[in-house]
Amino acid sequence: MALTPPENKHWWREPLHRMEIGWITIAFLWGLMMFGVMIYWHINGEQNLSNEAYRVDPETYGEKVEAFAEKYTVRTEGKNDTPVVKPPPGSDVYMLGRLWEWWPILELKKDQTYRLHLSSMDWQHGWSLQPTNINIQVHPKYEMVMTLKPTKSGEFGVVCNEFCGVGHHTMLGKIYVVDK
Amino acid sequence: MVAKEKFRVCPDTGFKVFQHTENLIKANAVVAVVFLLIGGLFGLLVALTRWQAIHLLPADLFYLALTAHGADVLLFWIIFFEVAVLYFAGSVLLNVRIAAPRFAWGAFILMLVGALMANVAVLQGESSVMFTSYVPMQAAPHFYLGLILFAVGALVAMFVFFGTLVVAKQEKTYEGSIPLVTFGGVVAAIIAVYTIASGAIILIPTLLWSLGYIAEIDSVMYKLVWWGMGHSSQQINVAAQVSIWYAIAAMVLGAKPLSEKVSRGAFLLYILFLQLASAHHLLVEPGISSEWKVFNTSYALYLAVLGSMIHGMSIPGAVEAAQRRRGYTQGMFGWLRKAPWGNPAFSGMAMSVLLFGILGGITGVVLGTEQLNLIMHNTLYVPGHFHGTVVAGTTLAFMAITYLVVPLIFRKEIIWPRIAQWQPYLFGLGVAGISVFMMGAGTLGVSRRHWDMTFSDAALNFDVPPAAFLMMGLNGISAVIASIGGVMFILVIVATLLFGKDRAEDACKTNPVILPDGGAVVATSGSEGVLKLPGTIALVSVFFLAFVLYYFVNWKYLSEVWPLS
The residue among B165, B243, B154 whose CA lies nearest residue B193 is B154
| Per-residue pLDDT at A16 | 85
Within this chain, do residues A36 and A124 fall inside the same structural domain, yes or no? no
What is the rounded distance in angstroms from the CA atom of residue B473 to the CA atom of residue B437? 9
Q: Does A180 touch chain B (CB under 8 A)?
A: no
Q: Does B255 touch chain A (CB under 8 A)?
A: yes
Share of chain A above pLDDT 70, in %: 99
Decide if pLDDT at B515 tops 80: no
Decide if pLDDT at B489 tops 50: yes
Within this chain, do residues A92 and A139 fall inside the same structural domain, yes or no? yes
CA B192 from centroid of its chain's CA atoms: 13
Residue A2 lies in a domain: no
What is the rounded distance in angstroms from the CA atom of residue A25 to the CA atom of residue B144? 45
For A161, the closest of B130, B375, B448 (CB atoms) is B448
The neighbour count for residue B552, using CB atoms within 10 Å, is: 12
Within this chain, do residues A170 and A102 fall inside the same structural domain, yes or no? yes
Overall average pLDDT of the B231-236 stretch: 86
Within this chain, do residues A29 and A103 fall inside the same structural domain, yes or no? no
Share of chain B above pLDDT 90, in %: 79
B contact residues 43-82, partner A, Cβ 8 Å cutoff: 59-60, 63
Within this chain, do residues A27 and A93 fall inside the same structural domain, yes or no? no
Decide if pLDDT at A170 tops 80: yes
pTM: 0.94
Complex ipTM: 0.95
Would you call B140 helix, strand, or coil by DSSP? coil
Largest CA distance in chain B: 73
**What confidence tier does B523 reach under pLDDT thresholds 50, 70, 90?**
very low
Are residues A98 and A120 in contact, defined by beta-carbon separation less than 8 angstroms?
A: yes
- Beta-ladder partners of A140: A120
What is the rounded distance in angstroms from the CA atom of residue B227 to the CA atom of residue B367? 15
Residues recorded for chain A: 180
Domain interval for residue A24: 14-44
For B526, the closest of A14, A105, A122 (CB atoms) is A14
Phi, psi of B500 (to 5 degrees): -70, 155
**What confidence tier does B299 reach under pLDDT thresholds 50, 70, 90?**
confident
Q: Which residues of B243-282 are buried (b: 16+ CB within 10 A; e: fewer)?
A: bbbbbbbbbbbbbbbbbbbbbbbbbebbbebbbbbbbbbb
Within this chain, do residues A36 and A69 fall inside the same structural domain, yes or no? no
Are residues B83 and B89 in contact, defined by beta-carbon separation less than 8 angstroms?
A: no
Decide if pLDDT at A2 tops 90: no
The neighbour count for residue A74, using CB atoms within 10 Å, is: 10
Residue A9 lies in a domain: no
Judging contacts by C-beta atoms under 8 Å, the chain B residues touching residue A20 are: 258-259, 262, 313-314
Number of domains within chain A:
2
| Per-residue pLDDT at B285 | 95
Within this chain, do residues A77 and A165 fall inside the same structural domain, yes or no? yes
What is the rounded distance in angstroms from the CA atom of residue B209 to the CA atom of residue B217? 7
Largest CA distance in chain A: 79
Judging contacts by C-beta atoms under 8 Å, the chain B residues touching residue A136 are: 284, 374, 377
The residue among B387, B355, B376, B373 whose CA lies nearest residue B546 is B355
Residue A6 lies in a domain: no
What is the rounded distance in angstroms from the CA atom of residue B59 to the CA atom of residue B72? 20
For A46, the closest of B285, B458, B563 (CB atoms) is B563
Q: Does A129 touch chain B (CB under 8 A)?
A: yes
Decide if pLDDT at B451 tops 60: yes
Tens of pLDDT along A112-164? 999 999 999 999 999 999 999 999 999 999 999 999 999 999 999 999 999 99
Decide if pLDDT at B89 tops 80: yes
**pLDDT averaged over every residue in chain B:** 91
Within this chain, do residues A57 and A36 fall inside the same structural domain, yes or no? no
| Per-residue pLDDT at B138 | 93
Phi, psi of B16 (to 5 degrees): -80, 130
Out of B206-210, B306-310, B408-412, pick the least confident.
Answer: B408-412
Within this chain, do residues A68 and A120 fall inside the same structural domain, yes or no? yes
Decide if pLDDT at B198 tops 50: yes
Within this chain, do residues A70 and A130 fall inside the same structural domain, yes or no? yes
Nearest CA distance, A53 vs chain B (angstrom): 5
Tens of pLDDT along B11-57? 888 888 999 999 999 999 999 999 999 999 999 999 999 999 999 99
What is the rounded distance in angstroms from the CA atom of residue B400 to the CA atom of residue B356? 14
The residue among B188, B189, B241 whose CA lies nearest residue B401 is B241
Decide if pLDDT at B64 tops 60: yes
**What confidence tier does B194 reach under pLDDT thresholds 50, 70, 90?**
confident
Q: Do B179 and A78 touch (CB under 8 A)?
A: no
Nearest CA distance, B350 vs chain A (angstrom): 17
Within this chain, do residues A36 and A113 fall inside the same structural domain, yes or no? no
**What confidence tier does B531 reach under pLDDT thresholds 50, 70, 90?**
low
What is the rounded distance in angstroms from the CA atom of residue B513 to the CA atom of residue A159? 52
Which CATH fold would you assign to the domain B340-506?
A: Cytochrome C Oxidase; Chain A (1.20.210)
Decide if pLDDT at B423 tops 60: yes
- Beta-ladder partners of B16: B9
Within this chain, do residues A63 and A143 fall inside the same structural domain, yes or no? yes
A contact residues 107-126, partner B, Cβ 8 Å cutoff: 118, 122-124, 126
Overall average pLDDT of the B279-306 stretch: 92
Which CATH fold would you assign to the domain B13-178?
A: Four Helix Bundle (Hemerythrin (Met), subunit A) (1.20.120)
Q: Do A48 and B176 touch (CB under 8 A)?
A: no
Mention every residue, 6+ apart, whose C-beta is less than 8 A from residue B299: B273, B274, B276, B277, B305
Q: Where are the domains of chain B?
A: 13-178, 233-339+532-565, 340-506
Give the CATH number, domain containing residue A70.
Answer: 2.60.40.420
Q: Which helix (H) or strand (E) holds B38?
A: helix B19-50
**What confidence tier does A7 reach under pLDDT thresholds 50, 70, 90?**
confident
Residue A81 lies in a domain: yes
B contact residues 457-486, partner A, Cβ 8 Å cutoff: 457-465
- Beta-ladder partners of A136: A127
Q: Does B136 touch chain A (CB under 8 A)?
A: yes
Decide if pLDDT at B530 tops 60: no
Are residues B282 and B288 in contact, defined by beta-carbon separation less than 8 angstroms?
A: yes
Q: Does B286 touch chain A (CB under 8 A)?
A: yes
